[in-house]
Each structure stands twice: as C-alpha cells, then as structure tokens.
Amino acid sequence: MCGRFTLTADLDTIQQAFNLTTVPAVLSPRYNIAPSQPIAIVTNEAPTTLSFHSWGLLPSWAKDPALANKLINARSETAHEKPSFRSAFKRRRCLIPADGFFEWQKQGSDKVPMFIHLKDSPVFALAGLWEVWNNSQGDEIRTCTILTTEANDFMQSIHTRMPVILAPADYDLWLSSAEEPVMALQSLMRPYDSGKMAAYAVSKLVNRPLNDTPRVIEPVH
C-alpha cells in the first residue's frame, strides 16, 4: 500500500512537469502527507489545473463518509471491476504529484520507515482515481485514491506493494476524458523501473502526521 508521501518540489517545477496553466498562488512543501488530508492532483476533468481533493475515495453511492478511510489505495489489478473503483477507473482518473513516498520495512521485530524516491526526477506522478460525493447538506466533497501494483525488484525487500508511478509519456492516455479500453489503461499499471529508484531509512517522526517538517525525510544511520 501507500500510506504517506511527500511533495516538496517548488510550484514552478510542478507546473512545468505537468504542463499546467492554472496553479494555486501558494503551495507549501509537504513532508508527511497522510490520508484524509487535502492533496494536490491533476484530474482528467481539468488536465491543465492543479486542484485539491481529500485523500480517501468516497464513491458517489457511499452512505457513510468514514468509508474514505478504507479507500486510500486501490489495487490496480482489480480496480476496473471493484464496485468502489470501477466507475472512477473508466471516467475519473488523475495524476498525483509527488517527490517521494514512505514504506515500513520489517527488520526483526521492528518496522523501519523508509523514504523512497526517484534518482533523477524532482517530481513524478502517482496514478490515481477521483470522485465527487455530496453530503447530507448538499456540499460537494472531492476525494481521491492512489493506485498500487506489485513491488518491483527494488521494492521487494521493503514491501510487497508500491504505488503506480506513471511515465510522463503515459500522462495523456491516463488523463484522457474518454472511456479508454480497460486493457489500454491496465497496460500502464506496471511496476516502475527498479534502476531509477533509491531509498534510505528515516526516523519514526513520520509515524505521526502532525510532524510535517524537513526532519521527517532526513536519513538516519
């Protein structure tokens, strides 16, 4: 799964990486993004705009908003057929800008947080799905989830799963406003190139979402 990530790149870098025309006036660096928080995404509804959605998907038919806590990730292998995700997989896809993510590696009886990033990319895109949900007051709530896939060779020593990281060449297909064939979309749901990834251990500050400072991503030895 993917339960924490970072977006510390400056706004100009993000804007250029995703060819955006509309961005927030200010985007503060985030070192410990956690579920239920608002996160910056690029949707296929507005592919040149950086907007904010709450992390944790709420399907339009959901009765209880607490369901979002269980839907922070979607398995890419089955998202196209699961009731919670299949409509979004067909029609509501997004890019989730990030520059790193965390996973906890089991070491003996301990779990050590690891910060995983790409060697040569200051920012990259996680594949996501988004939804619109209306509460009992009629307010529109926009939510999203991160797609995951099986771990590549690099990640296998850390965790069995990893987020789907999309190559820039795949952005246009993923952000298509059309109902693309499932097979075409599924072909993008592959583990990222192991040779382009790196990781190091960090402190357990990341375990507490309120800790959102550069210290969270400092390496420990």
Give the predicted TM-score (pTM) of the model. Answer: 0.96
Distance CA 182, CA 195 (A): 28
In the prediction, which pLDDT does 139 show?
A: 87
Greatest Cα pair distance in the chain: 51
Report whether pLDDT(79) > 90: yes
pLDDT (tens digit per residue) in 210-220? 999 999 999 99
In the prediction, which pLDDT does 193 show?
A: 97
pLDDT, average across residues 184-190:
96
Distance CA 66, CA 209 (A): 18
Distance CA 105, CA 100 (A): 16
In the prediction, which pLDDT does 13 show?
A: 97
Report whether pLDDT(32) > 80: yes
Report whether pLDDT(189) > 80: yes
Q: Which residues are catalytic?
A: 2, 103
pLDDT band, very low/low/confident/very high, at 137 (cuts 50, 70, 90): confident
In the prediction, which pLDDT does 179 show?
A: 86
Report whether pLDDT(127) > 90: yes
Query: CA–CA distance from 102 to each of 88, 113, 200, 218 (Å)?
Result: 25, 7, 10, 12
Distance CA 167, CA 121 (A): 11
Report whether pLDDT(135) > 90: no
pLDDT band, very low/low/confident/very high, at 136 (cuts 50, 70, 90): confident
- % the chain with pLDDT above 70: 100
pLDDT, average across residues 181-205:
96
- Domain ranges, ordered by start, for the chain: 5-99+122-193
pLDDT band, very low/low/confident/very high, at 178 (cuts 50, 70, 90): confident
pLDDT band, very low/low/confident/very high, at 221 (cuts 50, 70, 90): confident
The pLDDT mean for the chain works out to: 96
Q: What CATH number does domain 5-99+122-193 carry, 3.10.180.10, 3.90.1680.10, 3.90.1300.10, 1.10.760.10?
A: 3.90.1680.10
Distance CA 93, CA 42 (A): 9
Of the candidates 158, 150, 141, the residue with the CA atom closest to the CA atom of residue 67: 141
Distance CA 36, CA 91 (A): 22
Give, in degrees to the nearest 5, the angle at Cα 161 between 155 and 164.
90
